[in-house]
Amino acid sequence: MTQQVAFGMQLPVQSQSTLFVQAWEPEAGAAELVRVAQACDAAGFLYVAVCDHVAIPRQQAEAMSTSWWDTIATLSYLAGVTQQVRLLSHVYVLPYRHPLAVAKAWATLDALSGGRAILGVGAGHVEAEFVALEVPFADRGRLLDEAIDAVRAALADEYPSHDGPRWSFDGLGQRPRPAQGTLPIWVGGSSRAAMRRAAERGDGWLPQGPPKDGMAAGIEFVLATRAASARADDPLVLGALSGPLYVGEPGWDTGRCVRGSAEKVAGYLRTYRDLGVHQIQVGFASRTADELCDQVAAFATDVAPLVND
């Protein structure tokens, strides 16, 4: 039997890098963000995703913008206006924060949402941001490795214990506890180090674009590394990114985009399904929040069933 694939989406408005922002987003706000999140909820998407940056240096603001809404505040707000869709950070930069502070925020989000939080984590990439936060940029990979272990310990036990080179704690309790018991931790990134980290420490892999040698080779590497790790018997959720899509004939310049009939879009996504991924993060070209909501609905009705046919 062919493996069934789930779908999720990074939300608009909350992050506005020139790499992916649509022209309507800078003038939009919370109302449009909520409408899109609710459309994904109604469509049966597995998750909606929110990004993470604290402060963008002026020299990078033209490309990245300074519009990066706080991850926890945004996901907590969306938890109150959705019912089923899960709430993902893609990705939360753990080296910026003490693991106990991370665990408290995410356990609270999970309790408030009825067990819908997924903690997606990454090493970060904006060096000036690290400097401002007084975190050594060169150590970000090592810090992320330790932070994953420390946060996992704090999410799993009311009185966790961790003794590492950067953080140590013992005998300190935290409530509320996660509604799920603990949280899935999905590791982001497509570098060799990130894929190894996902395989050895994660409950899922969130690619940040295709790996250097392509998705098939990346998946093979992640699975082989997982099989050789201490977590070989634990399930691992493999992800993929679709890039921009448009269901139907747009009648306007969507730019670089996979567009056309439901069967054409589904055929493209089946190439990822056939590689063995469990979830695909989809995105859509759009001119308004309403058009984006219509695309989400059309995808759920016409495309998703064909991908999983």
Residue 188 pLDDT > 80, yes or no?
yes
* pLDDT, mean of residues 211-238: 97
Tell me the C-alpha to C-alpha distance, in Å, between residue 83 and each of 80, 268, 283, 308: 8, 30, 21, 24
Mean pLDDT of the chain: 97
| 80 conformational bin, left if phi > 0, alpha if psi -120 to 50, beta if neither | alpha
**From CA 271, how far away is CA 274, in angstroms rounded?**
5
Residue 93 pLDDT > 90, yes or no?
yes
Q: What pLDDT score does 1 carry?
A: 52
Tokens 């040698």 correspond to 213
Residue 59 pLDDT > 70, yes or no?
yes
Name all domains of the chain by residue range, CATH numbers in brackets: 6-307 (3.20.20.30)
The closest of 260, 281, 245, 261 to 120, measured between CA atoms, is: 281
**From CA 92, how far away is CA 186, in angstroms rounded?**
10
Q: What pLDDT score does 2 carry?
A: 65
Tell me the C-alpha to C-alpha distance, in Å, between residue 20 and each of 41, 188, 211, 255, 305: 22, 18, 19, 11, 26
Q: What pLDDT score does 16 carry?
A: 98
Helices in 157-288 by DSSP H: which ranges?
A: 192-201, 215-227, 262-273
Cα torsion at 34, 99, 117, 56 (round to 10°)? 30
Q: What pLDDT score does 243 carry?
A: 96
End-to-end CA distance of the chain: 10
pLDDT band at 239 (very low <50, low <70, confident <90, very high): very high
**From CA 70, how far away is CA 51, in angstroms rounded?**
8
* pLDDT, mean of residues 154-160: 98
101-138 pLDDT, tens digit per residue, is: 999 999 999 999 999 999 999 999 999 999 999 999 99
Helices 192-201 and 215-227: angle between axes, nearest 10 degrees: 40
* pLDDT, mean of residues 269-283: 98
**Lowest pLDDT segment from 6-10, 26-30, 210-214:** 210-214
- Residues sharing a CB contact under 8 Å with residue 74, sequence separation 6 or more, in sequence order: 14, 33, 50
pLDDT band at 3 (very low <50, low <70, confident <90, very high): confident
Give the DSSP H/E element, type plus range, for residue 243.
strand 237-247
- Residues sharing a CB contact under 8 Å with residue 49, sequence separation 6 or more, in sequence order: 8, 9, 10, 11, 88, 89, 90, 120, 281
Residue 290, token pair as written in the block: 């309403």
64-91 pLDDT, tens digit per residue, is: 999 999 999 999 999 999 999 999 999 9
